[in-house]
Amino acid sequence: MYFSDRKSHVPLLDSKRMYIHIIKDSWYWADIHIESLKYIIDLDFNSIKAAIVLLDLGGGAHGRVWLCCSLDGYVFVLKFSAEETISELIKESKNWKIFWDFNTMVETWNDRTALMMPFLLPATEDDWKDKQFVERVSDTIKQLAVNGLYHQDLRKRHVGKYIDKKKQTKIAFFDLSLCEANRKDKKEIEILMKNSLFDNNYHILEIN
Domain boundaries, the chain: 19-117, 121-197
pLDDT exceeds cutoff 90 at 185:
yes
Same fold, 19-117 and 121-197: no
Pairing of strands 159-163, 169-173: antiparallel
Beta bridge partners of 51: 22
pLDDT in tens, 130-170: 999 999 999 999 999 999 999 999 999 999 999 988 889 99
pLDDT-derived band at 82 (thresholds 50, 70, 90) equals: confident
pLDDT tens digit sequence for 4-58: 344 445 589 998 899 999 999 999 999 999 999 999 999 999 999 999 999 999 8
User: Which amino acid is it at 95?
Assistant: N
Side-chain half-sphere CA neighbours of 121 within 13 A: 12
Closest CA to 35 of 76, 77, 72, 75: 72
Contacts of 147 (CB under 8 A, 6+ apart): none
- Give the C-alpha separation, 94 to 33, whole Å: 34
Give residue 141's Cα distance to chain centre: 17
CATH domain 121-197 topology = Transferase(Phosphotransferase); domain 1 (1.10.510)
Angstrom distance (rounded) from CA 108 to CA 84: 11
Nearest of 99, 101, 58, 94 to residue 77 by alpha carbon: 58
One-letter amino acid of 173? F
Give long-range contacts, CB 8 A cutoff, 24+ apart: 102-109. 102/41, 102/42, 102/172, 103/42, 103/43, 103/44, 103/45, 104/45, 105/45, 105/46, 107/24, 107/45, 108/24, 108/25, 109/22, 109/23, 109/24, 109/51, 109/78, 109/80
Could you tell me how many residues make up the chain?
208
pLDDT value at residue 202: 52
- Domain at 19-117: CATH code: 3.30.200
Is residue 81 over pLDDT 70? yes
Rounded Cα gap, residues 5 and 13, in angstroms: 16
Q: What percent of the chain stands above pLDDT 70? A: 89
Count of CB atoms within 10 A of residue 86's CB?
14
